[in-house]
């Protein structure tokens, strides 16, 4: 037997022998969760401005940047009666298909308003494909102190550029939520009138 044929098995067992003394890497998942890195690429999040308006402007750059075609966006125009974001447009429909998403983060890099970021949440498995399609409502961040749920008016005396410069730190006093007519909501006064008409019809 040549020296090479004799040394090859020994070299292989040498790797095994070294591994015997290394610390075991077994994780007791899901009972114990390992802390993820600060810049971990997990589930996406749609962010808000400090007053509650949405940062997404419906530009669709994230959808264009996605190599897996996992993002679907429909933009719409803001109005003074129903405003979701500073500026002209907002993301009316926003969906991410996690059956396709590869969590590469290219969509985050493409976003011009820092509306889209990635969280540390990685438990996205589900039993159905439909459940893996996350909607805007599921991705939108929650409200914190000083925020008013959109739609509502911009901070008085400001422009959209003031929001991106960080000059708006919260909702103006007295800011109230507008009626989301595009989502089928009815103004309060109209709802009262319709209720009164229904009551009159019942009495008649």
Residue numbering of the annotated binding site? 56, 59, 62, 66, 101, 104, 107, 111
Which among 98, 106, 101, 183 is positioned nearest to 134, based on CA atoms? 98
8 Å CB contact between 94 and 73:
yes
How distant is the alpha carbon of residue 81 from its chain centre?
25
Instruction: Looking at the chain, list the stretches that DSSP marks H as alpha helix, in order from N- to C-terminal side.
Output: 3-19, 61-65, 106-110, 136-139, 160-164, 188-203
Task: Determine how many CB atoms are found less than 10 A away from the CB of residue 121.
Answer: 12
Which among 133, 17, 127, 20 is positioned nearest to 72, based on CA atoms? 133
Binding-site residues for [4Fe-4S] cluster: 56, 59, 62, 66, 101, 104, 107, 111
DSSP label at residue 131: G
The total number of residues shown for the chain amounts to 204
Radius of gyration in angstroms for the set of CA atoms belonging to the chain, rounded to a whole number: 26
Q: Which tokens go with 13?
A: 């067992």
Beta bridge partners of 95: 72
């Amino acid at each position: 037997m040549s020296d090479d044929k004799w040394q090859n098995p020994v070299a292989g067992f040498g790797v095994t022998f070294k591994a015997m003394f290394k610390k075991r890497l077994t994780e007791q998942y899901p009972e114990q969760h390992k802390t993820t890195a600060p810049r971990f690429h997990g589930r996406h999040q749609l962010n808000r401005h400090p007053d509650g308006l949405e940062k997404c402007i419906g530009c669709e750059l994230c959808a264009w940047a996605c190599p897996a075609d996992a993002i679907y966006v429909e933009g719409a125009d803001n109005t003074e009666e129903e405003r979701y974001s500073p500026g002209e447009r907002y993301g009316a429909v926003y969906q991410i298909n996690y059956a396709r998403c590869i969590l590469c983060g290219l969509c985050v890099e493409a976003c011009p308003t820092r509306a889209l970021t990635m969280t540390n949440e990685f438990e996205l498995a589900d039993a159905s494909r439909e459940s893996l399609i996350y909607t805007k409502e599921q991705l939108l961040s929650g409200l914190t102190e000083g925020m008013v749920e959109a739609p509502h008016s911009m901070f008085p005396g400001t422009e959209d550029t003031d929001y991106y410069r960080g000059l708006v730190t919260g909702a103006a006093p007295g800011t109230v939520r507008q009626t989301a007519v595009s989502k089928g909501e009815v103004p309060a006064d109209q709802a009262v009138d319709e209720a009164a008409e229904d009551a009159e019809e019942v009495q008649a």
